[in-house]
Amino acid sequence: MRALVTGASSGIGAGIALRLAQEGASIAINYRKDDKGAERTLLAVEAAAAKGIVVQADLSRVAEIERCIAKSFQAFGGLDLLVNNAGVEIYKPFTDVSEEEYDRVLNLNLKGAFFATQSFARRLFGTRQGGKVINISSIHQELPFPGDAAYCASKGGLKMLTRDLAIELAPFGITVNAVAPGAIDTPINTALKHDKRRLRNLLAQIPLRRLGKPDDVAGGGVSGIS
């Protein structure tokens, strides 16, 4: 198994990369700006006796998406799995969200997954081999979250993109699925963890009374797919 995990310098992406490495996969670790985090993930992958490379790219830009996919294919002689995990969240009242902030969220969370999957699929068409795509969505593809409209819109779009591509790419042997976690203890939720009122209200709705962990997502949605 050869996999590219986007946004793998920390959080859910790092957890997925490590779990796949422990199962014997070679891992391309994508990141945008956290060099040290990407290196930590690489060291963890290599400690699991797996091959790994680091690929810096801003996946909100199509040219950089193409470069990331191409480098990953070249490094391993192909890819079998794409995990679209890279994402960003801007928590702000709807009436205060700027165009730049909206674009930042939608361009990475939805556009990035769209064009990464497109580039991945095109290369698989050329080899006539099947492949797998896993989109890391969110509970907010279904559940409204006031103050997070752009993020909810991006994840709702990702849900429908997943459903559409699952049908469109199936004849080519490419499966497309999504995992939609709830609140996970990752850097994207740093502000939440420091807001005692919000955190208390959220935990009251979670049966385990705790935030999820990256390995919960890796183990429940990605592990064992090889």
Domain with 182 in it: what CATH number? 3.40.50.720
User: What's the domain range around 9?
Assistant: 2-222
3-state SS class at 170? helix
Model pLDDT, residue 58: 97
User: What is the value of pTM for the model shown?
Assistant: 0.86
State the total domains in the chain: 1
pLDDT at 137: 86
Please, which contacts does 21-24 make with residues 24 or more away whose CB atoms are closer than 8 Å? 21/45, 21/48, 21/50, 21/52, 22/48, 22/50, 23/223, 23/224, 23/226, 24/50, 24/226
| pLDDT tens per residue, range 11-40 | 989 999 999 999 999 999 999 999 999 999
Question: Is residue 151 annotated as part of the catalytic site, yes or no?
Answer: yes
Residues of the chain with pLDDT under 50: none
Q: What is the mean pLDDT of the chain?
A: 88
Q: Specify whether the backbone of 146 is left (phi greater than 0), alpha (psi in -120 to 50) or beta.
A: beta
pLDDT of residue 182: 58
Q: What is the pLDDT of residue 204?
A: 67
Among residues 31, 91, 102, 151, the one annotated as catalytic is: 151
Percent of the chain at pLDDT above 70? 81
